[in-house]
Structure 1
Amino acid sequence: MPRDAAPALVMLGPDLRARGGIASVLRVWQEAGLTAGRPVLHLATYVDGGALAKLAALALALLRFGGLLLTGRVAAVHAHSASNASFRRKSLFLALARLAGKPYVFHLHGGAFDRYHAGLSSLERAWVRRSIQGARVVLVLSESWADWLRQAIGHPDVRVLPNPVLPAVLPTDVPREAQTLLFLGRLEPEKGVFVLVEALARLAPAHPQLRAVLAGEGDVDGVRKAAVDAGVAGRVELPGWVDGEAKARLLARAGIFVLPSRFEGLPMALLEAQAAGLPVVATRVGGIPQVVREDNGRLAEPDNVASLVVALAPLLDNPAEAARMGARGREQVLAGYGVARVRAVLDAAWARLATK
């Protein structure tokens, strides 16, 4: 930023090239032009890489932020945070913002903050409360998370800001495979990927063409072993992390999107799958029930293989109805989570930063 530049809204979050949910949301914000026409400075507090790279990025961001504060180039702050290390990083910047008298928005992503909060010491909880209560506005992804923040933290201005969804642009040369399940997310127990492998094994005898594409980083070897042990190794594909054209081709190919997580906020991958016209089978956690309903998908209970099988079976048995569900889901998500609605909530939150 030039020395004579106007004070900016400093956006704290991961590097836009990073892998993960918050970075995906910020890339959509950028593509949708949600910050266009405003003096916004993105400050990367996290990068992909090893521990030293992460520590160096944090230290550099803190130095830059301190310099911006000292030279009067910070008008306000918008902090994108999840749990654990993500929150601890942002809390350092927010403490500096409070010392400098700069207003800020605390924007909570992810679906495990209540569990994180429950495991903290009394001193750590006080720090969390101070960090969040110091915000002019708190943004969350769903009404259930708004209720939790109001009760647990006691903030007076908690608003629901859904993740924005853009119309999907899918390749036309990829045929849809009604019996192919698609999972996008980290390969870890918290995302329910091992439950999905077990459900696949139970469904396979009645569905000879059934396959599952499990795309993401994490415990790849563990998932591969689970598939071998369950007798479905030949039905499971593990392409690793996908984005851009590779992700678009998987969304065009799959017949059903599956996300059997233990906890969530309102996952971007799920919204993108709906925008691509896929019916969704997911768990009844976080903000998911507000977008997955009987007319566009099915809900299952977390950590429950039988429940997931019951949710998936009717869609696999009736591909035509599954396709109709996907079409309805696409209409609903673009109407309810389009850029215009998100822009209105975001503009109102930022306007609040300019008031006393």
Structure 2
Amino acid sequence: MTTTPMRIVHCVRSPIGGIFRHIRDLATNQAEAGHDVGLICDSSTGSAFDNELVADLEPKLALGVTRVPMQRQLTFKDLSATLALYRHVRDLKPHILHGHGAKGGAYARLIGSVLNLTGQKVSRVYCPHGGSLHYDPNRLEGRIYHTLEGILGRLTDGLIFVSDYEAAAYESKVGHPKALTRIVYNGLTQEEFSPVPANEDAADFLYIGMLRDLKGPDLFIEALYNIRLKNGIAPTAHIVGEGPDEARYRNMVKKLDMENAITFHGALPAREAFKLARNVVVPSRAEAMPYIILETVAAQRPLIATRVGGVPEIFGRYANRLVEPGHIGKLTLAMEAALETPAKMEQQAEELRGCLAETFSVDLMSDRITTLYQELRGIAPADASAQVAAGSDLATSRAQSIFARSSNR
């Protein structure tokens, strides 16, 4: 692969969770490869834990980290934010503007388009990471966001999807992409594929993730309550994470009189959190390609997860183990089975980990994305382009059928 250095700026609204994990890994690899990299993100989002991760990344980036206020929803404040970001990005003179998530993608493509009109040659790249694709196309909000995605699609040079499912969702809800498109799975480092044993005093279950309804912590709490109603004793559990609905979940636990069984923590490193419980539960209602699933499988922790987004692509031939999303009865049964058959859960965790490392590699992820950049700049070697394109075409050929099967369940 050519070593021609590029000036790359990543833009994301919320520097938290899996989306920021993706950017952090990608930006670090690109900087180590000799590229000048920068990051733009919201200044009002993130806990002390999240802000520390941003601070740790900054010294690695030649173009620095810039934080400005960004609203989650569409507001008139977006106009002033766009103007401020435009002035900043213009001075950075990037070759690549890579937007992550709906808002980050909008900023990157709009600003990149204006820069192109003024004579700077900027390639506009977008990765949805789920984002607006989670919205129901049959509801007004979904129709608005998907229409805006279609308009912005005309201002897009490169599209990156983190799963076959996400690519198919885009085509179904927004339309066939006109940009150069690649499907690139999220990846982990080699160190993350070492097993993490549970502590001797480990609880029964762990929920780890953002505390918002999309991720299903309410379902996790309700399933624990259902088991107590049936058995008279509540399983013990830890909830690790932060988010906008935390107060409501704490109040839910209090009302159900489950405070002695469920312990809340703030954000913790995943591998530290895995030690707290014998089983991990990820009861999401929607996902793209969740890092927490990858991290759990790589750490060889017993896992209960839902059949959403790209999760079946991670599980592969073991996808029949996944639980129907949003179905509290089936989630409860899966958690009861985990309590009754711990040895089986451990065996399944070992089986699943064995087929993960080759496909979900952070180095492979970074190489494929950087190759897309180089293709857009006209500097990628032909053999690298052909290899990436072949992999993308193979993934795309499966995408519509995967999306159809998942949507019809």
User: Aligning the two structures, in what range does the TM-score lie when normalised by the shorter sequence?
Assistant: 0.7 to 0.9
CA positional deviation for 1:44: 1.1
Alignment match of 1:37 (pick from 25, 33, 37): 33
Aligned to 2:60: none
Q: Does 1:54 align with 2:64?
A: no
Q: Does 1:226 align with 2:252?
A: yes
| Identical-residue share of aligned pairs (%) | 20
Alignment match of 1:78 (pick from 98, 103, 114): 98
Partners of 2:375 and 2:145 in 1: CA distance: 28
Partners of 1:207 and 1:30 in 2: CA distance: 50
Aligned to 2:295: 272
Partners of 2:280 and 2:142 in 1: CA distance: 38
Aligned to 1:291: 314
Letter in 2 for 1:187: L
Q: Does 1:136 align with 2:157?
A: yes
Normalising by structure 1, we get a TM-score of 0.81
Unmatched segments (≥5 aa) in structure 2:
47-66, 71-79, 380-409
Pairs within 5 Å for 1:1-356: 8-13=7-12, 18-30=15-27, 33-49=29-45, 54-55=69-70, 60-68=84-92, 73-80=93-100, 82-83=101-102, 85-99=103-117, 100-110=120-130, 112-115=132-135, 119-120=140-141, 125-151=146-172, 152-156=174-178, 157-166=180-189, 167-168=191-192, 175=199, 179-204=203-228, 206=231, 210-218=235-243, 219-243=245-269, 247-292=270-315, 295=318, 298-355=321-378
Partners of 2:320 and 2:253 in 1: CA distance: 25
1:249 aligns to what SS in structure 2? helix
Aligned residues: 339
Partners of 2:257 and 2:320 in 1: CA distance: 27
Letter in 2 for 1:19: I
Aligned to 1:3: none
- Flag the 1:227–1:297 CA change in 2: closer, same or farther, 3 A: farther
- The superposition leaves residues 290-336 of structure 1 with CA deviations (integer Å, 9 ceiling, x where unpaired) of 11357488311222110101222222211112112222222222222
Partners of 1:315 and 1:263 in 2: CA distance: 23
- Flag the 1:354–1:168 CA change in 2: closer, same or farther, 3 A: same
Normalising by structure 2, we get a TM-score of 0.72
- Flag the 1:164–1:58 CA change in 2: closer, same or farther, 3 A: farther
CA positional deviation for 1:278: 1.3
Say which is worse superposed, 86-95 or 166-175, in terms of deviation: 166-175
- The superposition leaves residues 182-231 of structure 1 with CA deviations (integer Å, 9 ceiling, x where unpaired) of 21222222211111111011224549582221112232221122223333
- The superposition leaves residues 274-299 of structure 1 with CA deviations (integer Å, 9 ceiling, x where unpaired) of 12111221211111111135748831
- Flag the 1:13–1:208 CA change in 2: closer, same or farther, 3 A: same
CA positional deviation for 1:155: 0.8
CA positional deviation for 1:140: 0.8
- The superposition leaves residues 38-77 of structure 1 with CA deviations (integer Å, 9 ceiling, x where unpaired) of 4232131323449x96259876543211223xxxx32222
Q: Is the 8 A contact 1:111 1:264 kept in 2?
A: no
Letter in 1 for 2:309: G
